[in-house]
């Protein structure tokens, strides 16, 4: 699998910004990707060294729009810890928010 297919997009939330201050970055990843593929994809795409990878399967939630009921999609989330001194440029605006 190509690295750009493994890492779909970063997850932007309050919790992900708090984790980014501790060199942990949150990504939405392909559902069939395993930890080794995620590690290799992040290292190839962002040129950083990865220390650890934690994966979470996010379950679907029930949603309604009027009388029509449905569910959101199930997706996979990865929390990637990178080495001290490395950074990922997607989350560069964090330093201004801390002060």
Query: What is the pLDDT averaged over residues 84-97?
Result: 72
**pLDDT at position 90:** 76
What the chain holds in terms of domains, given with CATH numbers, is 3-85 (3.30.70.330)
pLDDT band per the 50, 70, 90 thresholds, residue 93: low
Q: pLDDT for 14-42, tens place per residue?
A: 999 899 989 999 999 999 999 999 999 99
Measured CA to CA, the distance from residue 50 to residue 23 in angstroms comes to: 10
Give the dihedral sign, CA 40/23/32/36. Answer: positive
Measured CA to CA, the distance from residue 8 to residue 16 in angstroms comes to: 16
Q: Which of 1-5, 11-15, 47-51, 89-93 has the lowest mean pLDDT?
A: 89-93
Query: What is the pLDDT averaged over residues 35-53?
Result: 96
Report the DSSP pairing between strands 24-29 and 68-71: unpaired
């Amino acid at each position: 699998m190509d690295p750009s297919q493994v890492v779909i997009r970063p997850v932007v939330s309050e919790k992900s910004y708090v984790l980014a201050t501790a060199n942990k970055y949150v990504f939405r990843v392909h559902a069939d990707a395993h930890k080794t593929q995620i590690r290799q994809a992040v290292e190839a795409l962002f040129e950083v060294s990865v220390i650890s990878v934690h994966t979470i399967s996010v379950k679907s939630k029930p949603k309604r729009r009027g009388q029509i009921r449905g569910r959101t999609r199930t997706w996979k989330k990865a929390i990637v810890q990178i080495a001290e001194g490395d950074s990922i440029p997607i989350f560069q605006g964090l330093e201004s928010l801390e002060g």
